[in-house]
């Protein structure tokens, strides 16, 4: 009886394990390795991080397609209700940087195609893409609303290494909940 009960447990663990590894691979190939390959950080990326991380972390360009970044950069004077406008020169540098590194850019290749395809045409939010919503659907709302997180757009409240582009499961820790074990 005991050993029979163990079978489904082991099966679940294996399935879980494979899923985790598949996901890890996806991010390692799509992000970390490519980031490592483009080190040292280019002056354009430095400008991007400098200009776009004063109110929230600098979201990786890979999370949105070119068309969404273009729309966002053309409306910085009313950016989610705040004025985030820059000098024309800086705006041009960041515009080019985002186009070059977007989810559907040549540099990023096919790894983020899923993400590019999952962005709608109206919202400018990463958190509104179908891909993002699917990944985060199991998180109870109270952990997002709590004061330590406040908004799902506050990626680094849960993804400890978000700023370096590492979103792997082992780096997730939700305040007042802890490690995420899917
Ligand atoms: C003056 C403050 C400020 C600056 C500077 C700023 N932002 Fe934002 N940004 C916001 C606010 C406020 C939100 C909405 C956050 C929320 O809903 O929690 C936001 C949201 C976003 C989102 C959507 C997050 C989501 O929900 O997926 C993106 C993408 C974004 N900003 C990109 C940028 C980029 C690119 C720059 C640099 C050109 C930038 N931001 C500069 C204030 C700012
Ligand atoms: C409240 C905590 C929380 C916040 C805030 C949050 N995430 Fe997540 N994220 C998670 C959890 C938990 C998972 C794993 C979900 C699962 O596997 O069921 C996850 C999964 C992911 C994944 C998939 C990782 C993989 O290996 O498959 C990505 C990419 C991701 N998040 C990006 C983001 C980005 C970008 C932001 C901000 C715009 C963000 N997350 C905000 C908790 C959070």
Q: What is the pLDDT of residues 57-114, one digit of tens each?
A: 999 999 999 999 999 999 999 999 999 999 999 999 999 999 999 999 988 878 788 8
Say if residue 157 is exposed, middle or buried (CB neighbours under 10 Å; 0-12, 13-18, 19+): buried
Range of the domain at 8: 2-179
Q: What is the pLDDT of residues 2-14, one digit of tens each?
A: 334 333 333 333 3
| Residue 174 to residues 62, 142, 145, 168, 171, Cα–Cα distance (Å) | 23, 11, 12, 13, 10
User: pLDDT higher for 166 or 125?
Assistant: 125
Band of pLDDT at residue 39, cut at 50, 70 and 90: low
Residue nearest (by alpha carbon) to ligand 1 atom 15: 153
Residue nearest (by alpha carbon) to ligand 2 atom 32: 167
- Alpha carbon 99 to its chain's center: 16
Cα–Cα distance, 14 to 132 (Å, whole number): 25
Please report the pLDDT score of residue 32 as a whole number.
46
182 CB within 6 A, ligand 2 = yes
Residue 10 alpha carbon to ligand 1 centre in Å:
43
The structure's pTM equals: 0.86
Please count the structural domains in the chain: 1
Residues constituting the chain: 182
User: pLDDT higher for 117 or 140?
Assistant: 140
């Amino acid at each position: 009886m005991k050993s029979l009960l163990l079978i489904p447990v082991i099966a679940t663990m294996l399935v879980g394990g494979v899923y985790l590894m598949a996901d890890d691979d996806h991010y390692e190939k799509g992000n970390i390795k490519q980031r490592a390959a483009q080190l040292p950080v280019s002056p354009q990326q430095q400008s991007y991080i400098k200009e776009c991380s004063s109110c929230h972390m600098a979201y990786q360009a890979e999370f949105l397609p070119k068309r969404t970044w273009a729309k966002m950069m053309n409306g910085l004077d009313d950016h989610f209700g705040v004025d985030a406008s820059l000098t024309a020169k800086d705006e041009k540098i960041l515009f080019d940087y985002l186009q070059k590194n977007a989810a559907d850019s040549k540099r990023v290749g096919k790894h983020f195609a899923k993400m590019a395809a999952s962005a709608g045409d109206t919202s400018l939010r990463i958190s509104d893409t179908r891909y993002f919503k699917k990944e985060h659907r199991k998180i109870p709302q109270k952990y997002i609303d709590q004061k330590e997180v406040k908004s799902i757009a506050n990626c680094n409240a849960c993804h400890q290494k978000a700023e370096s582009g590492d979103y792997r499961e082992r780096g997730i820790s939700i305040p007042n909940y802890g490690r995420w074990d899917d």
